[in-house]
Amino acid sequence: MNKLIRKSVEFLAGLAVLVTPLWAGNALVNPGFEADAPGEHQNLVGWTPYGPNYYNQSGSGVRHGVNALKVFSGFTRSVNYSGVYQDIPAGPGSTCSAEGWVKISSANLPSGQNRAWIEVTFRDAADSMLALHRSRVIQSGDIRAGVFPQEVWLELPVTNQYDPGTYTITGSARMLVAPAGSTRVRYQVVFEGDAANSAGAVYFDDLNLNMARVVPAPPAGPEVEAAEPADESPGEWSLIWSDEFNQPDGSSPDASKWGYDRGGSGWGNEELEYYTDRTNNARIEDGKLVIEARHENFQGKEYTSARMLTKDKCAWAYGRIEARIQIPRGPGIWPAFWMLGANIDSVPWPTCGEIDIMENIGREPGTVHGTVHGPGYCGAGGIGGPAALPGGAAFADGFHVFGVEWETNRIRWYLDGKPYFALTPSKLPAGRRWVYTQPQFLLLNLAVGGRWPGNPDATTTFPQRLTVDYVRVYKKFLPPDRPATSKIPN
């Protein structure tokens, strides 16, 4: 995190401890980009950037001072995102309003399906999105209709309420209120570039997150349960299925255990790769599975990789599921070890349930995520928690064991044998269903690009390799001298 924004966050957090509630003003650091050096560059003080094309822009066309922010498409031939954001501490009941000033330049009009907006989200300690608010979306049709006139700075308030699971508008409010579970509010500038490489840019200046009332977040509760003990219920874990990947070097993975998803549809995430079943992309090396992402032209895509799954071969309800994995590294790289409901063909996602045992996005080398997705809490609204290594070490530097222990009404996530997050039905948002009662199959994949990780940049090298030492599934059985108190699921 940039030093200046970290100081600001620490300062606000300290005030929140001393004063409840705290009445504040604009909480953003460098809201008009005047702390940045003149010229066109990407060194934006206080802001966390994402995507390829966000720039400090100097000149006579800015609203105040000498600088403004210019954002535009990443030109990746797929839907892509660029922008900047800041996180500010804010507990439940905190209130704020948000706006910013925007300008459309006649020399650089957004075209095609390019869009831009200002977004405010409230998030919990696991970075799950609890509430979503956006400004009116700037798009070419509205520009042509004169809703957004050219060469004029317009104030753009954030007033539209969205369902964070479906991204549909549900209402309107000028004052935004942090819901239960909130620990921070995120102010974000977003430019969505289309798949046609359409041109155009949007300029932002004098951004504002007016914290009318800041309530301190409560101490971390049981949702982020790093301190919760491991499972101590009676019984012993017994191995019921595994793949140790002991086939000859260069061979394909065991076809009796694994199949493949194939194609380059983007997989609902705007991914850039084409998944194949070739040994170029998935093979055995030195007693380990290697899933390799390559930068190569294939079936109209610029990247290839593999997505393996046990669907229609093996699926399980409850147990301990773990794998010893060394992940790759680099912006735009997205390795995952996860599960989907075996009934997905008749019960579509997300109602079938998804358990993400481990995900990493390359721009966060020291963080992995465990998450669930179900009806009403999916996509960016999925519920989960992060894990990190001591001293901020990178996960790509070695092998680690990622696992879950899945019981009837609880899922615990583990890193190297230590629990870091747990979820029960009572922790779901009000009215949402716990759907983790049916068998699920395993998936291992290495994605390139997508809405969450962003796309590879000039620092991302290829090929990238996800290396798996083993995958193991255990069931817990009561010892013979202890009578069963409930039926053990098949």
The answer to which of 36-40, 131-135, 309-313 has the lowest mean pLDDT is 36-40
| The CATH number of the domain covering residues in 236-477 | 2.60.120.200
Of the residues 34, 354, 405, 407, which is catalytic?
354
What value does the mean pLDDT take over residues 461-480?
A: 89
Distance in angstroms (rounded) separating the CA atoms of residues 16 and 216: 5
pLDDT band for 212, please (50, 70, 90 cuts): confident
Q: What are the residues whose beta carbons fall under 8 Å from the beta carbon of 416, sequence distance 6 or more?
A: 400, 401
Domain ranges of the chain: 3-213, 236-477
Q: Give the SS3 label for residue 363.
A: coil
Q: What is the pLDDT of residue 175?
A: 87
Q: What is the pLDDT of residue 3?
A: 35
CA angle 308, 314, 319 (to 5 degrees): 105
Distance in angstroms (rounded) separating the CA atoms of residues 1 and 304: 32
Q: Which residues pair with 193 in a beta bridge?
A: 80
Verify whether residue 359 is a known catalytic residue.
yes
Tell me the range of 101-110, 272-281, 374-383 where mean pLDDT is highest: 272-281
Q: What is the pLDDT of residue 229?
A: 53
pLDDT band for 140, please (50, 70, 90 cuts): confident
Q: What is the pLDDT of residue 232?
A: 56
Answer whether residue 461 shows pLDDT above 80.
yes
Q: What is the pLDDT of residue 479?
A: 56
Contact 224, 126 (CB under 8 A): yes
What value does the mean pLDDT take over residues 89-110?
A: 89
What value does the mean pLDDT take over residues 257-281?
A: 96
Verify whether residue 151 is a known catalytic residue.
no
Task: Output the six-digit token pair for 106.
Answer: 């006649």
Answer whether residue 227 shows pLDDT above 50.
no
Contact 188, 133 (CB under 8 A): no
Of the residues 292, 322, 359, 405, which is catalytic?
359
**Which pTM does this prediction carry?**
0.57
Q: How many CB atoms lie within 10 A of CB 244?
A: 13
pLDDT band for 11, please (50, 70, 90 cuts): very low
Tell me the range of 51-60, 81-90, 367-376 where mean pLDDT is highest: 367-376
Q: Which residues pair with 448 in a beta bridge?
A: 333
Better-scored residue on pLDDT, 17 or 332: 332
pLDDT band for 10, please (50, 70, 90 cuts): very low
Contact 448, 333 (CB under 8 A): yes
Distance in angstroms (rounded) separating the CA atoms of residues 150 and 161: 27
**Which residue is it, tokens 């964070």?**
164
- Dump pLDDT digits (tens) for 341-382: 999 999 999 999 999 999 999 989 999 999 999 998 888 788
What value does the mean pLDDT take over residues 309-336?
A: 97
Q: What is the pLDDT of residue 392?
A: 81
- Dump pLDDT digits (tens) for 401-454: 999 999 999 999 999 999 999 999 998 888 899 999 999 999 999 999 998 899
pLDDT band for 225, please (50, 70, 90 cuts): very low
Nearest by Cα to 2 from 24, 39, 51, 35: 35
Third-level CATH fold of 3-213: Jelly Rolls (2.60.120)
Is the fold of 3-213 the same as that of 236-477? yes
Element (H, E) at 446: strand 440-448
Q: How many CB atoms lie within 10 A of CB 318?
A: 19
**Which residue is it, tokens 């395993």?**
442
The answer to which of 22-36, 243-257, 400-414 has the lowest mean pLDDT is 22-36
Q: What is the mean pLDDT of the chain?
A: 86
The answer to which of 201-210, 323-332, 373-382 has the lowest mean pLDDT is 373-382
